[in-house]
Amino acid sequence: MTIHKKGYYGDFGGQFVPELLMPPLLELEEAMRTIVPSEPFKKELNALLADYVGRPSPLYRCPNLSKELGFDLWLKREDLNHTGAHKINNTMGQGLLTKYMGKTALLAETGAGQHGVATATAAAMLGLDCIVYMGAEDVVRQAHNVKRMKLLGAEVVPIESGTKTLKDAINAALRYWIAEQGTTHYCFGTAAGPHPFPLLVREFQAVISLEARAQCLDKMGRLPDYVVACVGGGSNAIGMFHHFVPDETVKLIGVEAGGTGEPGCYHSAPISLGTPGVLHGMRTMLLQTSEGQIEPSHSVSAGLDYPGVGPEHAHYGASGRVRYDIAVDDQALAAFEALCRREGIIPALESCHAVAWVLNHAAEIPKGSQVVVCLSGRGDKDLGIIEAHEAKLGGAK
């Protein structure tokens, strides 16, 4: 991977923030350089990941779907982590770093609520205060997770401005951080935003591919042929890809959310359908008008509903190292049903986009291949959406 200059991945990345945010970003960069690689920090984090988060997460071969598909479908079971998603890897890392930095509070933004729950969990466990910004629309869509955050002691602030979704929650969180930077660490939820967040979040999520690569060698006796992950902001995917990037024989597939898939619909696929621009502190691929206004995104999955993407993904898209494709809402829902019924696993709708890609591309995947999908989270939080969708289908019949 090329970093042309500080915080850049090829042409993407950077630090496009108000000057008032540069001091805390520089402070964080310094903490990354000095604290994260230090032995006491690594030791404490690894112990937390093992005993509290429940790592390593299993690499599981789906017996029923593998038989039907004619190739081996493996799931990296991030859904089995404490709090039910990969998000906890990042929040435990950043939460611990916050303590080492001498700050007392965690600030987070959240879309689907998984990152909010994971941040609230880390804060409770580590004795930090926690405030979570969430788009008002997401507060309604993800009421279950809002309840969990409150139970964990976090203050949840609904954001009524703009599209009332994740991007507006990020704007609000950045504003709050400007004012409270002395005491508060912004626990960014995905591998996006201004440098050093894409690097920091990748650092904490790379544990996924570190484990997965070793598990593949152990269980398959070789590297996999395909590694597939869903991409919203892109943190589970960057964590899943990182240690496979140098392995040229491994095809890396990032799956973006296509929304309803109808012509002209809003979607959440900035790498496949967007253009380069600057938002939330980074130069990346964006959904935007020709005049540079950010367009609303849409996906059945709140966790993928974001008009931008982490800059490292934008770079891999441009360089061709990762193939980015789209799965639409209905395909993700079909994959949801397949995993529920065939494997007894209720997956997050985000992860279903990755599974959907495999099911949709089964014909092009050679028989006998080894295919690994990052199952980034569990689907309990999405049951309301699934029920509403089924009711809609039932009504249409």
Partner 1 sequence: MSQSILTTRIMEALAAGRKALIPFLPGGFPDKERFFDELAALDAGGADIIEIGVPFSDPVADGPVVEQASLDCLLNGTCLSWLFYELEKRKGQYRAGLVLMGYYNPFLQYGLEQLAEDAADAGVSGFIVPDVPLEESGPLREALDKHGLDLIPLVGLNTSEERLAAYAKNARGYVYFVSVLGTTGMRESLPTEVKERLAAVRRIFNVPVALGFGIKSPEQLYAFGDLVDGVVFGSALIAHIKAGGTAAEFMARWRS
Taking the complex as a whole, the smallest distance from the CB of residue 30 to partner 1 amounts, in Å, to 13
Phi, psi of 313 (to 5 degrees): -65, -45
How far is it, in rounded angstroms, from Cα 332 to Cα 325? 13
Residues 6+ apart with CB under 8 A from 180: 105, 107
115 is catalytic: no
Q: DSSP letter for 296, please.
A: P
Smallest distance, Å, CB 361 to partner 1?
34
Provide, rounded to whole angstroms, the least separation between the CB of residue 13 and partner 1. 10
CA-CA distances (angstroms) from residue 345 to 94, 320, 342, 362? 29, 32, 8, 20
Shortest Cβ 137–partner 1 spacing (Å): 16
Instruction: Supply the minimum distance, in Å, between the C-beta of residue 67 and partner 1.
Output: 48
Residue whose CB is less far from partner 1, 189 or 379: 189
Question: Among 4, 62, 115, 265, which one carries the catalytic annotation?
Answer: 62
- Catalytic: which of 4, 82, 86, 315? 86
Torsion angle defined by CA atoms of residues 294, 329, 374 and 206, in that order, rounded to the nearest 10 degrees: 10
- Name which of 1 and 20 has its Cβ closer to partner 1: 20
**φ, ψ at 194 (rounded to 5°):** -70, 150
CA atoms lying within 13 Å on the CB side of residue 24: 23
Q: What's the Cα-to-Cα distance from 372 to each of 60, 108, 321, 366, rounded to whole Å?
A: 9, 30, 17, 14
What's the token pair of residue 240?
A: 């899943």
Give the residue with the Cβ less far from partner 1, 54 or 162. Answer: 162
Kindly state the tokens that stand for 301.
């999955």
Q: Which residue lies nearer to partner 1 by CB, 70 or 292?
A: 292
Residue placing its CB nearer to partner 1 in the complex, 182 or 394:
182
Instruction: Give the footprint of partner 1 on this chain (CB under 8 A).
Output: 6, 14-20, 22-23, 161-162, 167-168, 171, 174-175, 178-179, 181, 277-281, 286, 288, 290-294
On the 0-12 / 13-18 / 19+ scale of CB atoms within 10 A, 221 is exposed
Active site residues per annotation:
62, 86
